[in-house]
Amino acid sequence: MKRSAEDVSDRLRVRRLIYLWSLVIAAPVMVIAAVLNVSDPALRITYVLLTAWLVPAFFSMLLYPKSVPFVERVTTLVIAFLWLLRMALTLYLEVDARSAMEALSPAVTLGLVLVTLMPQFTFKTRTAFGVGLGIVAVTSVMGIIRFAGASDATVFVTFLQHQSFLLVLVAFFFLLGLEKAALARVEVEQDRLRVEVYRDALTGLPNRRALDEAMTDALERANRTGEPVAVIAFDLDHFKSLNDTHGHEAGDEALRKVGTVVRQSLREGDVLGRYGGEEFLIIAPGVGCDVAARVAERCRAAIEGMDLGPFGSVTASFGVSQWNPGDVGSDVVRRADARLYRAKRAGRNRVDADSLDVGDG
């Protein structure tokens, strides 16, 4: 979920930059176009009014980055309104009906195609469909009023064909929007399933499958670069007694809280996961046993200092091992487990490492 929110934020920043730079270029161009199009009053008025909106839109996005979605939607409606205005002026400034119909193509018609497409990018699919239908309805009313009484009936038929084309486009855009929305839902569901597959449901930490993949990646990198990799295995001392005395609720709370406090004690790049039951695993790339043992000691002290309220407190025992050339992941984990059980035999609540022993806490 956090990654998804970051993706949305990144896309918003990119869109904002594109819009700001586009407006810096587009605003002067439209002013020049408005000045040069003296012979086309409809186009001139459209450019002037559009520029009048784009100036406050620019400063809104410049000063308030979060206003981008609002500005997008308003700009879509403004452009749609202005193009409808241009169509109305084009229809009624021409003297006869045939000239008015001919004046619609290609510029006005292409503009109408654009304004029926734009809502698909700024509104939800059904809202965009409603906006598109509204554009078709308004343009149809304008055309019917202009052409219904024309002496040449073919002009009215041509206009009906023009509107049918627009209606088909709106329906086509709607279907594309539905397909896009369906694909987006599938992607969201796939992301959710991926999270479920690789996350432990109780603690929210990576599960054993995720740890195995992280271990494979770390060892592949170690084989390429020769950099060290350490593994820290730990589990809670007397966890069964905690469950028997206070119930599984206490055990679950202990596991969740351990995940939280240990994660806060790790270095950036370390991977913490629940390996199974009350056992956790930490993959520490880039360090050997000496540094990893100090990390483990910091985690041990953090767990010992936890307050579980009515459930009392817990401690944990740690085993630390280091990757050696030729090792596979199971080799390193097996040695870390052996060190973990040695720490338990030595009295629990301590760290045992391949290269050194860290205080008994």
Q: How far apart are CA 104 and CA 87, in angstroms?
A: 7
Cα(327)–Cα(44) distance, integer angstroms: 75
* Count of CB atoms situated within 10 Å of the CB of 125: 19
Beta carbons of 173 and 121 less than 8 angstroms apart: no
Rounded Cα distance between 304 and 296, Å, is: 12
Of 278, 279, 297, 304, the active-site residue reads: 278
Judge residue 53's burial from the number of C-beta atoms within 10 Å of its C-beta, 0-12 exposed, 13-18 middle, 19 or more buried.
middle
Label the pairing between strands 316-322 and 351-353.
Answer: parallel
Q: Which two tokens mark 139?
A: 């343009």
Which residues have a Cβ under 8 Å from the Cβ of 82 and sit 6 or more positions away?
46, 49, 50
- Which of 233, 212, 230 is CA-nearest to residue 339? 233
What DSSP state is assigned to residue 95? S
Residues 6+ apart with CB under 8 A from 197: 209
Assess whether 94 carries a catalytic annotation.
Answer: no
In the chain, which residue ranges form alpha helices assigned H by DSSP? 2-36, 41-63, 68-93, 97-103, 107-117, 119-122, 125-147, 153-198, 208-225, 239-246, 248-265, 289-304, 329-345
**CA 55/CA 299 separation, integer angstroms:** 56
Backbone dihedral angles phi then psi of residue 21, each to the nearest 5 degrees: -70, -35
- Rounded Cα distance, 58 and 48, in Å: 16
Alpha-helical regions (H) of 64-124: 68-93, 97-103, 107-117, 119-122
Q: Catalytic positions, please? A: 278
